[in-house]
Amino acid sequence: MSRRLSAVSYDAGSGVLLLDTPRTSYSAYVGREDHIPIHTYWGPPITAEDAACLAEATTERLASEWPCFRSPANGHEEYPLDGGVQFGRAALTLEFPGAVRSVEWRLGGHEITAGAGHHDLVLRFEARHHDLTVALHYRVHDDSDVIDRWVVVRNDSATDSVDVHRLDSAAWVMPEQERHRMSHLTGRWAAETQLRRTDLTEARLVLESRRGITSHHANPWFAMDDGTATEEYGRVYSATLHWSGSWRMLAQRDMDEPAQVLLGWGHEGFGPRRLEPREILRTPVSSGLFTTGGFGGASHAWHEYALRHVLPGAEEVRPVLFNSWEATGFDVDEAGQRALARQAADLGCELFVLDDGWFGRRTGDRAGLGDWWVNGERFPGGLRPLIDDVHALGMGFGLWIEPEMVNPDSDVYRAHPEWTYHYAGREPKLMRHQLVLNLARPDVVEWVFGELDALLSANDIQFVKWDMNRPFTDPGWPEEPDRQGRLWFDHVTGVYAVIDALRRKHPGVAFEACSGGGGRIDFGMMARSDQFWVSDNTDAVDRRHIQHGFSQIYPARTMSCWVTDLPTFINKRRVPLTYRFHVAMAGVLGVGGDLAAWTGEETAEARRLIGQYKRIRHIVQHGRLHRLGEPARSAAAVQYVTADRSESVVLVYQEAQQYDSHPRPIRLRGLAEDGRYRLDDGGTTLSGAVLMGHGVIPSLTGDYASTLIHLERVT
């Protein structure tokens, strides 16, 4: 397909906006009378003339609708406002003095700007009856079909505050079609990112997090098709939100109206968040994507966008890490960790991460959180002797922290009980014996930064695992009741501010985003992290489902996976070591087991597989990912192909053998048809055409059988 450059245009005469990405166009127009922007098109490229015709046709069509009991514009709005003749759920609900909720605006102007590799359009609307401006922002990139949208609200009044009840980043309007099948990610702790597909009927479908974190239970992403898209073919619309706190995704569709998906921060009824006089509030970005390449094509576009525009240092190759958590739990001390470090280095690990239990009086989960001083009984010389040892073994050193949290049994809580979320006169609910610090408070943000900065300045640390192990409850701030509604927004920006400042000051430190496993996986966190801890569930069978869902939007380069011990603590399942490695090798490989208990045979196999992973990880971490079959199918595979198509890796899994059937050939994807590829099975050479048209026949027998096939193009 020919590639064209991205562009944005706005015709002030007709009010038509047109966004062009390399392979798609997106169009809307600003209504003449009420200045409400109406969406008209999202799909393969069109011209400015097409866009103008669509605007005219839509204007006529909406004007011809019988207006009794309904608003003809409902469902078509680029950004539905609360107020006026509008009966759908709004993207923007503001409350002005006098309990007035209606927003009426007029277009004040527009701006078009260009930056390095992107073009921006801003439509600036002025409220008719208040000193307030709402700016709708659009950004297109030269190297992606993803469109970024966000909104900036400015309270221009010097005296009056405005209450924000809802401020979404975008409304995405779907084309009118017979069926709207919505793919989304659901789950819970230890079962994150489960892919589901459901039909959107004439109703509202709300997916949200009310927990203060992105959540294990839903992820801010969807893909919409007409029920016919497959992994390889079909028109798919998709969108996400770059946000790590509570959020809402609301899909709405009424009879004879288009489906419209609103995406924004804050769950339903969170607030309000008061916008003080002269205050400006910028929403997180919501990104949207249209592709004709099916669900696989949508994932490719998301992965490439993530690596080019979200993830810092995406070109780095992530090291194989060892993490102490499943090996030692809270039972950490210098001698034990030294022994583990030696064994980890012997396996070929490149980064040693000391998990929970090294600080304060943290000998279990009941005490110590918040006291970020090294436990002197466990580490009498501080962390330095262990760190020096780890470095001498040729590994980087990583440390676990949970900065947003305190145990009531901690020095910091005893000194500052008012720093946690709570309601006056009520006992705040403990979860995992801990309370959430109020990071909407600037003094708490400053304190957290100071503690972590001191830790990173005093120790030669290469990696930080930032954990967050409980959702918000009792979201009160009794000292400042007027600011209470802010916390759902300001806590997240507080977390971002701390990580951003730490990254600036300690550029050599990589961050792993974790929230009791995968409770905080989103583009907001990805923008300031190097990888995600995807789930506490390391059972290889469950993990394949979790990884399948994760891969719908997030790239393998960010997916941290460990091989741990048997039986797994989650379900007591026993899966052979090679299968477990092959599942973990589908992302950023790590090891998390009690290595002292591994047999000589297991250690040798682990060493061999880690060595193999290092030889192929550039393909897994930076190549294009193809899902070859659903995880429940035997045999299903994941394949990775380098950008120049010179190398590929296929990981094939047979969970359970049925009868005496042999696996069918697995048709590969993304290779050069006319290229010849050598398989690492002793030298078979096959053309790309054969590998993709006929496939490879994996030799797998029995249950939990797996194999890794490495292909290299020969000249």
Strands of the sheet containing 16-20, edge to edge, are: 7-11, 16-20, 25-30, 37-43
- Strand, coil or helix: 459: coil
User: 510: which 2 tokens?
Assistant: 């990589």
Q: State the Cα–Cα distance between residues 599 and 511, nearest whole angstrom.
A: 32
Among 95, 522, 536, 655, interactor with ligand DGJ by CB under 6 A:
536
CB of 412 to ligand DGJ, least distance (A): 18
Nearer to ligand DGJ, 251 or 526 (CB): 526
Among 237, 305, 358, 400, binds ligand DGJ (CB under 6 A): 400
CB-wise, 164 or 546, nearer to ligand DGJ?
546
Contact call for residue 539 and ligand DGJ (CB under 6 A)? no
Look at the chain and count its residues: 715
Shortest reach from residue 440's CB to ligand DGJ, in Å: 24
The whole-angstrom separation of Cα 186 and Cα 272 is 27
Radius of gyration of the chain (CA): 26
Least distance (Å) between residue 467 CB and ligand DGJ? 5
User: Which residue, 261 or 521, is less far from ligand DGJ as judged by CB?
Assistant: 521
Which two tokens mark 248? Answer: 């809402």
Based on the shown chain and the rule CB under 6 A, indicate whether residue 221 belongs to the binding site for ligand DGJ. no
Q: How far is CA 534 from CA 190, 467, 515, in A?
A: 9, 12, 9
| Active-site option among 355, 536, 539, 542 | 536
Interacting positions 325-344 with ligand DGJ (CB under 6 A): 325
If DSSP codes are grouped into helix, strand and coil, which group holds residue 340? helix
**Residue from the set 194, 215, 244, 469 that interacts with ligand DGJ by CB under 6 A:** 469
Considering the complex, state which of residue 286 and residue 469 has its C-beta at the smaller distance from ligand DGJ: 469
Q: How far is the CB of 403 from ligand DGJ (least distance, A)?
A: 13
Binding mask 261-300 for ligand DGJ (x = CB under 6 A): ----------------------------------------
Using rule CB under 6 A, residue 148 touches ligand DGJ: no
542 scored as a contact of ligand DGJ (CB under 6 A):
no
Q: How far is 307 from 577, CA to CA, in rounded Å?
A: 31
Burial class (CB in 10 A: 0-12, 13-18, 19+), 644: exposed
Q: Which of residues 503-522 bind ligand DGJ (CB under 6 A)?
A: 514, 516-517
C-beta of 183 vs 410, nearer to ligand DGJ? 410
**Minimum gap (Å) between residue 203 Cβ and ligand DGJ:** 36
CA distance 575 to 566: 8
- Could you give phi then psi for residue 611, rounded to 5 degrees? -60, -45
Q: What is the DSSP string of 249-300?
A: EEEE--TTS--EEEEEES-TT--PEEE-TT-EEEPPPEEEEEESBHHHHHHH
Q: How far is the CB of 469 from ligand DGJ (least distance, A)?
A: 5
| CB 531, min distance to ligand DGJ, A | 13
**Residues sharing a CB contact under 8 Å with residue 454, sequence separation 6 or more, in sequence order:** 372
Q: What is the Cα–Cα distance from 135 to 298, expressed in whole angstroms? A: 28
Residues in CB range of 245: below 8 A, 6 or more apart:
209, 212, 213, 214, 265, 266, 488, 489, 491, 492
Long-range Cβ pairs for the range 674-683 (8 Å, 24+)? 675/645, 675/646, 675/713, 676/713, 676/714, 677/648, 677/711, 677/712, 677/713, 677/714, 678/711, 678/712, 678/713, 678/714, 679/709, 679/710, 679/711, 680/709, 680/710, 680/711, 680/712, 681/709
Q: How far is the CB of 545 from ligand DGJ (least distance, A)?
A: 18
Which residue is at the shortest CB distance from ligand DGJ?
A: 356
d(CA 396, CA 462): 6
Q: Which is nearer to ligand DGJ, 365 or 712 (CB)?
A: 365
Q: Which is nearer to ligand DGJ, 190 or 341 (CB)?
A: 190
536 is catalytic: yes
CB 314 within 8 A of CB 531: no
CB of 325 to ligand DGJ, least distance (A): 4
Which of 28/448 has CB closer to ligand DGJ? 448
Residues 607, 276 contacting (CB under 8 angstroms):
no
**Smallest separation (angstroms) from ligand DGJ to the CB of 660:** 41
- Residue 330 CB contacts under 8 Å (≥ 6 apart), including other chains: 356, 357, 362, 363, 364, 365
Residue from 533, 598, 613, 653 binding ligand DGJ (CB under 6 A): 533
CA 453 to chain centre: 26
Binding mask 583-612 for ligand DGJ (x = CB under 6 A): ------------------------------
Beta carbon nearer to ligand DGJ, 248 or 470 = 470
Decide if residue 559 touches ligand DGJ (CB under 6 A).
no
In the bound complex, what is the minimum distance in angstroms from residue 184's beta carbon to ligand DGJ? Answer: 23
Q: How many CB atoms lie within 10 A of CB 699?
A: 11
DSSP H helices in 259-410: 294-305, 325-328, 334-347, 384-392
3-class SS letters over 111-160? EEEEECCEEEEEEEEEECCCCEEEEEEEEEECCCCCEEEEEEEEECCCCC
Residue 591, Ramachandran bin (φ over 0: left; ψ between -120 and 50: alpha; else beta): beta
| Residue 685: φ, ψ to 5° | -120, 130
Q: For ligand DGJ, what does the binding mask look like between residues 301 and 330, x meaning CB under 6 A? A: ------------------------x-----
- Could you tell me the smallest distance in angstroms from the CB atom of residue 335 to ligand DGJ? 21
Query: Using the rule CB under 6 A, is 451 a contact of ligand DGJ?
Result: no
Contact pick of 95, 225, 355, 522 for ligand DGJ (by CB under 6 A): 355
Our CB check for ligand DGJ shows the closer of 401 and 509 to be 401
Unique residue bearing structure tokens 């006291």: 371
Q: Out of 467, 490, 539, 542, pick the active-site residue.
A: 467
Number of residues lying near ligand DGJ (CB under 6 A): 11
Q: Out of 168, 467, 530, 647, which residue is the one contacting ligand DGJ (CB under 6 A)?
A: 467
- State both tokens at 536: 């506490």
Tokens of 159: 């005296």
By beta-carbon proximity to ligand DGJ, the closer residue of 87 and 569 is 569
Considering the complex, state which of residue 26 and residue 472 has its C-beta at the smaller distance from ligand DGJ: 472
The residues assigned a catalytic role are 467, 536
Interface residues with ligand DGJ (CB under 6 A) are: 325, 355-356, 400, 467, 469, 514, 516-517, 533, 536
